[in-house]
Structures are given as structure tokens and as C-alpha cells.
């Protein structure tokens, strides 16, 4: 569908420098965009691509340098935060289609389950005894909702999601394919016999609060007691593991292959980058950012930026990395110094037969 550029700018409260009547047929990346496309410059590192782009208009942030803005010889949609405006614009232009309500003939819904008339249950899905599906809930094909679960309004389970018994899921939650919520936490006690382990029953539940999104093939284990909780508005990438009893705060971002061990406490607005590991029973404070591939083995105070193994303040990590690159040269210099000191010591021992040594007197 074609839109006037001025109308697109108005959707996100942006200012327009250029032709308000320019027709825009779509949104595309800088390199793929053509004259009928709106593209976006959300990071200054892509300045050269923006200069070479054939886009008819660019969505940009006002805080770009005047020099860069002057170089962009195309129509500009100026806003405070180009990335946020892009998200708002795409949400408006590409709304998620509403699912038609109904229960597929091949779905298995227990008689005691309560399914709102506006909910949808697709082919071969299962809804267990005593579970509740709220208004507009969508259960994808082959997904399984265990016994005694509750799913709030507008929640979507994509195909092949598995929700174990007793899970409580809030409103507008999105769970992607392959996710498992509520599998047993990893808890064992050493048995009396050699190499034997006794499984500790996991009798708690998983709680997923409103507006959470969980990426494909991630897992959130049920608590040993009480709850494993994912806070409101948190977004979890693919292949993330959340251990039993963990408490994840509100508005967090957990990137791919991150792992949070059991009984950890993650504050609000925390960022765990890709492949971060958090050891069990530690607290990470509000607003903390943990760099990719870091390992957290101790508590982290609020609003810290940490990196490394073990994780440390990022300034210290950078200094250590700078030193590491110099280690070969430092090692060579140290060996040279050791040889020189050895030579001086040998010379000192060999020069001990002078006049003072045999009682001579120069006076």
C-alpha cells in the first residue's frame, strides 16, 4: 500500500524535510531501498551506506551531526530516536493479523478446561484439565498446555510450545516454537552409593508476567518450591536457559544462549548479552549491562557495566585486555632483564678480589 511521506512522518510524530507528497511503497534497508522506499539510519556507523543508498527518504535521529545531515541528499524524516520510530512505524504498518476464534477438530481440549469463545486452538494442540485460556489466546498447532495452567488475554503460543502443569502466563505474552516452560529444575542430591544421584522433586511453578516474549527453543524451569518468575515486559532471545527459582525482573533483555542458574535474582532493565552465564544464588542489580560471553560469579550492584571471566567493571576489563595484548613483548623484555641481572650478578661475584678485599689502604 502506498503512503504519503508526510503521513508516515505524522504516524511517529516526526518532522519532515522534503516532499510531503512523495509516495512511499515500503520500508527497506539502506542497500536494498529504491526511490519508492523509506529507509533508516539508526547507527552512525552506517553513514557510508546511507550516502550510497537509493532510498527515496530516510528516517534519521535529530542528534546526527549537522555535517552528516547535510550530506544526506534525500528527503529526511527527523525524530528523537530513529530506532524507536522505526519500531512504531512498522508496528502501525504491519499489524499482527487477528486469529479467527475456534477449536480445531483435531485438538484435544479436556472437558474441565475453560476456553474463552474468542480464543483459538489449532490442529493437534492439547489443553489439559482445569486450564484456562483467556480472550484472544492463540494455541498453535501441536502445542501442549498442561493441567491447571492459566493464559491471559492475547497470549500467543506458537506451534510446538510445551507448557507444563500449573504455569501461570499473563496477558499479551508471545512464546515462540520449541519453548518449554515448567520442566523440572535441575536439582539432585548425592546418593549413599557411589555415582548415584537422588532427584529432588520440583514442586513449584513458572510465572510469566504480562508482555513477555520468549524466543524459540528457550527453557524456563519450574521452581523447586514457590516460583520461577519472568517479570513484566522482559524479552528473551532464542536458546536461553533460566534455572529453577530464578527471578528475572521487569523490562530485561536476555540475548541468545544466555544462561541464568538457579535461585539467581536479576533486577529490572538488566541486559545480558549473548552467551552470558550467571552463577546460581547471586543478585544482579537494576540497570546492569553484562557484555557478551561474560561469566558472573558474584553479586553486581545497580547500574554497573561488567565484562569478562569473571565479570568485572568494564573499565578494568578493558585495561586487562590492553595488557594481555602486550604480554608477549613484556615477557621478552622480562627475560632480557633477567639475563642482564644475571650477568651483572656474575660480574659482581667475580670482581670481589680488589685491594679492599686483601686489607689494602689507599690513605
Any idea which residues carry the catalytic annotation?
Answer: 244
User: If we measure between CA atoms, which residue out of 271, 274, 294 comes closest to residue 285?
Assistant: 271
Give Cα 95 to chain centroid, integer Å: 23
User: 187 phi and psi, to 5 degrees?
Assistant: -135, 120
Q: Is 50 helix (H, G, I), strand (E, B) or coil?
A: helix
> Are 141 and 125 in contact, with CB atoms under 8 Å apart?
yes
Question: How far is residue 178's CA from residue 218's CA, in Å, rounded to a whole number?
Answer: 7
For residue 23, what are the contacts with CB-CB under 8 A and spacing of at least 6? 2, 3, 4, 5, 36
Q: Is 89 helix (H, G, I), strand (E, B) or coil?
A: helix
Alpha-carbon Rg for the chain, nearest whole angstrom, is 31
DSSP H stretches of helix in the chain: 5-11, 47-52, 66-71, 82-93, 314-350
Length of the chain: 363
The CA-CA-CA angle for residues 86, 91, 93, to 5°, reads 95
User: If we measure between CA atoms, which residue out of 321, 325, 258 comes closest to residue 312?
Assistant: 321
Question: How far is residue 305's CA from residue 287's CA, in Å, rounded to a whole number?
Answer: 9
Largest CA distance in the chain: 119
User: If we measure between CA atoms, which residue out of 219, 254, 217 comes closest to residue 237?
Assistant: 254
User: If we measure between CA atoms, which residue out of 298, 263, 294, 301 comes closest to residue 280?
Assistant: 263
Amino acid at each position: 500500500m502506498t503512503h504519503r511521506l508526510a503521513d508516515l512522518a505524522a504516524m511517529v510524530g516526526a518532522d519532515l524535510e522534503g516532499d510531503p507528497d512523495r509516495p512511499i511503497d515500503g520500508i527497506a534497508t539502506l542497500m536494498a531501498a529504491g526511490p519508492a522506499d523509506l529507509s533508516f539510519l539508526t547507527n552512525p556507523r552506517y553513514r557510508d551506506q546511507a550516502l550510497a543508498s537509493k532510498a527515496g527518504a530516510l528516517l534519521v535521529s535529530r542528534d546526527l551531526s549537522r555535517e552528516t545531515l547535510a550530506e544526506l541528499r534525500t528527503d529526511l524524516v527527523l525524530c528523537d530516536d530513529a530506532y524507536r520510530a522505526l519500531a512504531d512505524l512498522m508496528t502501525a504498518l504491519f499489524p499482527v493479523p487477528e486469529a479467527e476464534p475456534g477449536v480445531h477438530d483435531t485438538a484435544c481440549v479436556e472437558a474441565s478446561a475453560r476456553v474463552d469463545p474468542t480464543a483459538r486452538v489449532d490442529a493437534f494442540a492439547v489443553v489439559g484439565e482445569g486450564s484456562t485460556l483467556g480472550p484472544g489466546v492463540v494455541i498453535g498447532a501441536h502445542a501442549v498446555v498442561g493441567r491447571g495452567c492459566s493464559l491471559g488475554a492475547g497470549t500467543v503460543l506458537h506451534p510446538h510450545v510445551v507448557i507444563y502443569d500449573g504455569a501461570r502466563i499473563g496477558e499479551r505474552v508471545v512464546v515462540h516454537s520449541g519453548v518449554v516452560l515448567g520442566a523440572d529444575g535441575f536439582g539432585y542430591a548425592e546418593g549413599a552409593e557411589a555415582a548415584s544421584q537422588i532427584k529432588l522433586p520440583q514442586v513449584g511453578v513458572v510465572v510469566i508476567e504480562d508482555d513477555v516474549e520468549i524466543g524459540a527453543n528457550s527453557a524456563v524451569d519450574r521452581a523447586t518450591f514457590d516460583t520461577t518468575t519472568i517479570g513484566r515486559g522482559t524479552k528473551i532471545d532464542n536458546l536461553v536457559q533460566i534455572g529453577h527459582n530464578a527471578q528475572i525482573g521487569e523490562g530485561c533483555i536476555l540475548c541468545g544462549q544466555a544462561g541464568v542458574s538457579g535461585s539467581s535474582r536479576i533486577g529490572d532493565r538488566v541486559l545480558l548479552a549473548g552467551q552470558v552465564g550467571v552463577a546460581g544464588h547471586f543478585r544482579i542489580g537494576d540497570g546492569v549491562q553484562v557484555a557478551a560471553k561474560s561469566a558472573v560469579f558474584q553479586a553486581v550492584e545497580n547500574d554497573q557495566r561488567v565484562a569478562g571471566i569473571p565479570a568485572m567493571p568494564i573499565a578494568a576489563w578493558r585495561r586487562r585486555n590492553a595488557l594481555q595484548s602486550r604480554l608477549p613483548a613484556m615477557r621478552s623484555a622480562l627475560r632480557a632483564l633477567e639475563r642482564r641481572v644475571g650477568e651483572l650478578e656474575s660480574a659482581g661475584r667475580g670482581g670481589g678480589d680488589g685491594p679492599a678485599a686483601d686489607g689494602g689502604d689507599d690513605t
